[in-house]
Amino acid sequence: MMNKENLKIVFFGTPEFAVESLSRLVESGFNVSAVVTMPDKEAGRGHKMLQSDVKKYALQKGLKLLQPVKLKSQEFIDELRAIDADLFIVIAFRMLPEVVWSMPRLGTFNLHASLLPKYRGAAPINRAIMNGEKETGITTFFLKQEIDTGDMIEQRMTPISEEDNAGTLHDRLMTMGAEMVESTVNRIIEGNLATQPQPEGEYIGAPKIFKSDCAIEWNQPAVNIHNQVRGLSPYPAAFTTIEDNKGKLMDTKIFLTRLSDKPVEGLTPGDCTTDGKRLWVATGDNMIEILELQPAGKKRMPVASYLLGYHPAKMHKSTVTV
């Protein structure tokens, strides 16, 4: 009889989001026979080699670790086959070639941070908030060739509150996802599966976040800017160029905003008003209040601290990353 000890699992993942599920499997006594993660990469001026969060956890737990440069390389394929795993689990990893995902006898399933088929792609958490969604969730599904399109196993919903940003939603979905990964594996062990195809006509893309997605356009409606800031906070963060009352320009990240009923009368998009402790900016329709920001080269700070040393007059769409 199959159980958690003799079901051989290979886990594929890279960032912190994947570690929560891997940890859940290991701590619950599942047989994780190997972990596959991205190769180490150089970062910073010192060219220090950075290990993925999944690699750090695997080393800590003494798990067999594979870091292929090419997923189709014969050496990697042979290593995987030698493990003779029953099931592959993929969370926040690269797109797998068919020769890999079709290998295990029980298939390969993926955890995705959206209610599929909505928000297929690399940035489902950011995009859902940026688009003003009121709910999102997680889905486990079996892989097939087209990305994020396979038959669904389980799905769970969570509301997106007005206070949520990409960071808080990431952490909540990460915890929910770990619970659902364990649940999905248990259903596979028990043979208690009733998968269903993803519904047609509900597709929304969630492409990778590019620098251009982070630049604030102040002629947009206030709610769009507010959702953009929330959906990019704390990382990679929305940004703007602030012009002070002497014409000096400084690129600045914006982390927290609040919608305001303060009138825009006589102001053009990007114009700033302040009472010395609070800061508002005119948008395409209403004012928006800036609550937390980070000038280039400085620390993140509440706006009251910022206004002690800076005197903003106008905000412009930035063409520079900060």
**pLDDT confidence of 321, banded at 50, 70, 90?**
low
Q: Quickly list DSSP for 93-152.
A: -PPPPHHHHT-STT-EEEEESSSTTEEESS-HHHHHHHTT-SEEEEEEEE--SSTT-SPE
The string of pLDDT tens digits covering residues 262-276 is 888 899 999 999 999
Residue 241 and residue 252 in contact, taking contact as beta carbons nearer than 8 Å = yes
Q: What is the C-alpha separation between 123 and 210, in angstroms, rounded? A: 10
pLDDT of residue 1: 66
Read off the pLDDT of each residue in 159-163 and give the average, rounded to a whole number: 96
DSSP class of residue 49 equals: E
pTM for this predicted structure: 0.94
Read off the pLDDT of each residue in 54-69 and give the average, rounded to a whole number: 98
* pLDDT greater than 70 at residue 320: no
What phi and psi values does residue 35 have, to the nearest 5 degrees? -125, 135
Read off the pLDDT of each residue in 246-269 and give the average, rounded to a whole number: 94
pLDDT of residue 4: 86
Closest CA to 125 of 218, 43, 212, 16: 16
- Helical ranges in the chain per DSSP H: 16-27, 53-61, 74-83, 98-101, 124-130, 166-190, 211-214, 222-232, 303-309
Amino acid (1-letter code) at residue 190: E
Gap between the terminal Cα atoms of the chain: 56
